[in-house]
Amino acid sequence: MKKYFLYITAITFAASACNKQLDLRPSDYIDPEGAYQNVEDVNQGLLGAYSILSYYSSIRYTSLITDENMLPSENSTGSGFATHRWQYDGSFLHDAWKDNYIAIDRLNRALSASRKVAVLPSQHEALAQYQGELLALRAYCHLELVRNFAEKYEPAAMGVPYMDSSYIGKPARLSFGQTMAKINEDLAAAKGLIPGGFDDRTRITKAAVSALQARVALYEKNWDNAITFATEAITALPLATRTQFPQIWKDNSTAEVFWKLKRVTGDEEIGGFYTQAGFLDNPAGRRVYYAASYKLTNLFDKVNDIRFSSYITIDPGRLAAGNVPNVVVKYIGANASASNLVDVKLLRTGEMYLIRAEAYAEKTQPGLAADDLNNLRAARIAGYVPQTFADKAAIIAAVYTERFKELAFEGHRHFDLRRRDMNISRNPQDAVNALGAVLLTPNDAEYVFPIPNSELRANPNMKQNPGYVNK
């Protein structure tokens, strides 16, 4: 009899994961009842959950379906084509679904065990920190799930099951509002447990919790909380300088990075989604798999904006050869032997300025909104002259344009459009290989990712997003 794997009740457990820098892979899977004997075992279980997360679940698919990239003719791999062309249905198993729920299961097992292990007097602070990270990471994983799979970002719309324990069951979807409330509960609890002096950027710190709370508030349209938590985050970690900014993407600087996924040899290579390895050393002999869209590229001040040269290069030689010249270099690192292997940046100060600017605009405080937007631009664009904005609509439109540029290829564009029910609209020049996938509206089923049909078959309490036919 054919059996289907229910990811939200995944029972695998990482017994050993990695060291502090996440540079080892899980080596075994054992019964968790015997896995946790002491505080360090809790840490290993926590790192096992961190190790599940990847750019596949946080960036890849959101980049594929939006207007920030395009499919060049030279890409003959077939990878991601159906998603880019909006041809998916319920048979599509999004990595965000399986990876986040597997990570959540590991987190719940470690969190439960953390309340029972023997603790030496000198270990209480460390245990509290691990418990705080477990709660914060559980909140983050659920936020990724709700960003991808919520019916709408409205209180009564269908959200996702919130798994706060590890058990084999058949949970139903909570509402979006209920899901966000539980995320907020976990983050508030985490914040009281993680010490302020803890500053490992490959793990969730107290400042990273503030940044996550600001992001949650943005999706809830809780503008007061968005301002409060974004301010906490900005105070804790200022913007990178123009000198530091390009080095963030080479892994030579952690400026303004609250949290990143440490990637080491053997991990997935985020740069390989966009370009063939070794591209910068041999542009003529390497392929571009997904290129920066003309729609995005043309928004930048290509001369003065440090983001443009950090994210994209225009290669005239490729254009002369009949290829798309807009090459994504954001994730090409400094290590020539593994050029596409870099850490995945998940939370940055630049995002916090844009969250706060949007919140100030919604609170009818245009001067403060303009200050945040202008300060961010001044940090990125040489010779920038501050601008004024006619009204609330104008500044929100400006914030959205800035999010498109500032957060390009970081896994936000799809969700930003969804937050205001805006179309995904590709320029004809960017859709030459999209087979007609030019306009995706909020009324189209594919505007929201489907719950995997395998999950629906395993769990009769699970409901599909509107417009998809269960198979």
What are the backbone dihedrals phi and psi of residue 259, each rounded to the nearest 5 degrees, phi first? -155, 135
Give the domain-ending residue among 338, 369, 386: 338
Residue 305 lies in a domain: yes
pLDDT of residue 28: 40
State in Å, rounded, how far the first CA of the chain is from the last one. Answer: 17
47 & 170 share domain? yes
When the pLDDT of each residue in the chain is averaged and rounded to a whole number, the result is 92
- For 418-432, write each residue's pLDDT tens digit: 999 999 999 999 999
295 & 177 share domain? no
Do residues 424 and 346 lie in contact, with contact meaning Cβ atoms separated by under 8 Å?
no
Taking alpha carbons only, the member of 97, 83, 159, 60 closest to residue 452 is 97
12 & 161 share domain? yes
187 & 314 share domain? no
Give the amino acid at 168. Answer: I
Q: What SS3 state is found at 392?
A: helix
How does residue 166 score in pLDDT terms, banded at 50, 70 and 90?
confident
The pLDDT of 200-229, averaged and rounded, is 98
Residue 431 lies in a domain: no
Q: Which residue has the tokens 């075992």?
A: 41
pLDDT of residue 27: 40
185 & 277 share domain? no
pLDDT of residue 322: 87
Q: What percent of the chain has pLDDT over 90?
A: 87
Give the domain-ending residue among 306, 338, 370: 338
- For 315-334, write each residue's pLDDT tens digit: 988 888 889 999 999 999 99
Q: Burial letters for 234-251: b for 16+ Cβ neighbours within 10 Å, e otherwise?
A: bebbebbebeebbbbbeb
Residue 1 lies in a domain: no
- CATH code for position 456: 1.25.40.390
**Tokens standing for residue 39:** 């505080």
288 & 159 share domain? no
159 & 303 share domain? no
Residue 344 lies in a domain: no
- For 376-408, write each residue's pLDDT tens digit: 999 999 999 999 999 999 999 999 999 999 999
- For 215-266, write each residue's pLDDT tens digit: 999 999 999 999 999 999 999 999 999 999 999 999 999 999 999 999 999 9
Do residues 143 and 182 lie in contact, with contact meaning Cβ atoms separated by under 8 Å?
no
Residue 389 lies in a domain: no
pLDDT of residue 169: 83
Interhelix angle for 206-220 vs 124-149, to 10°?
Answer: 30
pLDDT of residue 15: 35
445, pLDDT greater than 90: yes
Q: What SS3 state is found at 459?
A: coil
Residue 353 lies in a domain: no
Query: What is the extent of the structural domain holding 185?
Result: 7-195+441-471
pLDDT of residue 33: 60
Structural domains of the chain, count: 2
Provide the 10 A C-beta neighbour count for residue 407: 18
Taking alpha carbons only, the member of 335, 261, 333, 282 closest to residue 22 is 261
174 & 289 share domain? no
Between 166 and 454, whose confidence is greater? 454
412, pLDDT greater than 50: yes
The pLDDT of 89-101, averaged and rounded, is 94
169 & 288 share domain? no
137 & 276 share domain? no
Residue 356 lies in a domain: no
| Max Cα–Cα distance, the chain, nearest Å | 68
Give the domain-ending residue among 285, 317, 338: 338
Residue 138 lies in a domain: yes
Taking alpha carbons only, the member of 245, 373, 388 closest to residue 305 is 245
